Amino acid sequence: MTDHADPAPAALVVMGVSGSGKSTIAAAVAERTGSIFLDADDFHPASSTTKMQAGMPLTDADRWPWLAVLGDEIARRLEKGQSVVMACSALKRSYRDVLRERGGEAVAFALLHGSQELLASRIGARTGHFMPSALLESQLATLEHLEADERGFVVDVSSTPAEIADDVLAAWRG
């Protein structure tokens, strides 16, 4: 009888601007892989949520403590032997660096990418979300695409959520 070790715990941050489907896709990937799903939005302090609801973009000073908490949560889960799929905008390289530094080498990124028109139409169709569509342009201007030395990949979001999740899984596990 051969002993089959479980794969090492891994962390995938499903990233992108508002409307790209981060939460939907991350939850689907987590479910399919038996991973823990975490939505970074759930970790925002009330002051940041209030600011975004008012149409004001967060500053880096707002984000640094939040990113540290996210990275620490990833590390905590990995240390417990749990794989994690997190939905998080992670728009700048420096933000991803914090997640990697605090979360560990097992952190990879899936950038969900789509046209501004598609993203705006998705945001407009949502109800009950704190991110107004007016901030989409600001997020697109802030987005720094994954660099060659970053562990990650880009997935187009113009298809169905199930197909996008398939693409993410194929790229992450492939």
Render pLDDT for 112-159 as a digit per residue (tens, 0 to 9).
999 888 888 887 766 554 455 567 788 888 899 999 999 999 999 999
pLDDT of 99 reads 98
pLDDT of 2 reads 41
Q: Is residue 73 part of a domain?
A: yes
CA-wise closest residue to 69 among 108, 33, 95: 95
Choose between 18 and 15: higher pLDDT: 15
Q: Directed axis angle between helix 22-33 and helix 161-173, to 10°?
A: 60
pLDDT of 6 reads 55
Cβ atoms < 10 Å from Cβ of 82: 15
Beta bridge partners of 108: 12
Q: Is residue 140 part of a domain?
A: yes
pLDDT of 126 reads 61
Q: Is residue 52 part of a domain?
A: yes
Residue ranges in the chain assigned as alpha helix (H): 22-33, 46-53, 60-79, 93-103, 116-125, 136-142, 161-173
User: Using CB atoms within 10 A of its CB, is residue 142 exposed (0-12), middle (13-18) or buried (19+)?
Assistant: middle
CATH of the domain at 80: 3.40.50.300
Q: Provide the number of structural domains found in the chain.
A: 1
pLDDT digits (tens, 9 = 90+) for 68-86: 999 999 999 999 999 999 9
Q: Is residue 2 part of a domain?
A: no
Q: Is residue 20 part of a domain?
A: yes
Mean pLDDT of 19-35: 95
Mean pLDDT of 47-51: 88
Q: Is residue 1 part of a domain?
A: no
Q: Is residue 134 part of a domain?
A: yes
- Per the structure, the complete domain to which residue 65 belongs is given by 11-173
